A and B are shown apart, each in its own frame.
Chain A
Amino acid sequence: DVKVTQSSRYLVKRTGEKVFLECVQDMDHENMFWYRQDPGLGLRLIYFSYDVKMKEKGDIPEGYSVSREKKERFSLILESASTNQTSMYLCASSLSQGLAGYTFGSGTRLTVV
């Protein structure tokens, strides 16, 4: 089975901290995605990557950056965490032809205090 692993299930950080959320997939998928999930808003795309060192902004990239140095790893970076970034963060991966849909990680619930 394809696995997408997110490094932390729960995380509490202080305002202004630099935060790294890590995501690793083990099935050689080309595409990787970071979403945030908020009640009533569903999942909103922050950034995605379709190849190593490639990245594209999604719908809500402000306050975030990403890194993809290796095909299997896609990191989300909060440069200076703020309370409005308290949310559930979901990582996903897919083949270049996306009809098979995404495989998701279990999510990281981030609280910024």
Chain B
Amino acid sequence: AQTVTQSQPEMSVQEAETVTLSCTYDTSENNYYLFWYKQPPSRQMILVIRQEAYKQQNATENRFSVNFQKAAKSFSLKISDSQLGDTAMYFCAFMGNNAGNMLTFGGGTRLMVKP
């Protein structure tokens, strides 16, 4: 079974600065997908960014980018120019190719952006 580990339960960052959230996973599969989801206080889970394991290029979505290290099974999220609206829980998630499209989530990181 796959496992996803987020080692930072809580983090804080000053507005306009950069922060990196860590995620590691364990799998024996070669092809899979990785996701970062954001859950603001409104509780609505929002997809932030996704990465396909067979693509070597790191995914980028505006201020959000990932550092995908396949050999190390690491998938960190970098948030540049942090904004107050980035305050949320962030979940890393794994989807295998033969997992019936099930997502396995990490325990989450609570990010606080301070003014």
Cross-chain contact of A40 among B35, B50, B104, B107 (Cβ < 8 A): B107
A97 proximity list for chain B (CB < 8 A): 101
Interface centre among A90, A98, A99 (most CB of B within 10 A): A98
B100 proximity list for chain A (CB < 8 A): 31, 48, 50, 56
Chain A residue with Cβ nearest B101:
A98
Q: Which one, A19-27, A65-73, A100-108, is touching chain B?
A: A100-108
Known: A99-B52, A104-B45. A31 touches B101 (CB 8 A): yes
Q: Does B62 lie at the interface of the complex (its beta carbon under 8 Å from any beta carbon of A)?
A: no
Annotate A45-56 by CB proximity to B: 1 below 8 A, 0 otherwise: 100101000001
Pick 17 A–B contacts, CB within 8 A, sort by A.
Answer: A35-B105, A40-B108, A42-B91, A42-B106, A44-B105, A45-B102, A48-B100, A48-B102, A50-B101, A58-B102, A88-B43, A96-B101, A98-B95, A98-B101, A99-B95, A102-B47, A106-B42
Cross-chain contact of A101 among B35, B105, B106 (Cβ < 8 A): B35
Assembled-state Cα–Cα distance A102/B4 (Å): 17
Assembled-state Cα–Cα distance A58/B99 (Å): 11
Q: Is the CB of A43 within 8 A of B105?
A: yes
When A and B form their complex, which 4 residue pairs have the shortest distance between CB atoms, in order from nearest?
Answer: A98-B101, A104-B45, A42-B105, A43-B105
Interface size on B, residues (CB 8 A): 24
Q: Does B103 lie at the interface of the complex (its beta carbon under 8 Å from any beta carbon of A)?
A: yes
B102 proximity list for chain A (CB < 8 A): 33, 45, 48, 58
Q: Is the CB of A40 within 8 A of B106?
A: no
B106 proximity list for chain A (CB < 8 A): 42
A-B contacts besides A45-B104, A106-B42, 18 pairs, CB < 8 Å: A31-B100, A33-B103, A40-B9, A40-B108, A42-B4, A42-B6, A42-B106, A42-B107, A42-B108, A48-B102, A90-B45, A92-B45, A94-B101, A98-B101, A99-B52, A101-B50, A102-B45, A102-B47
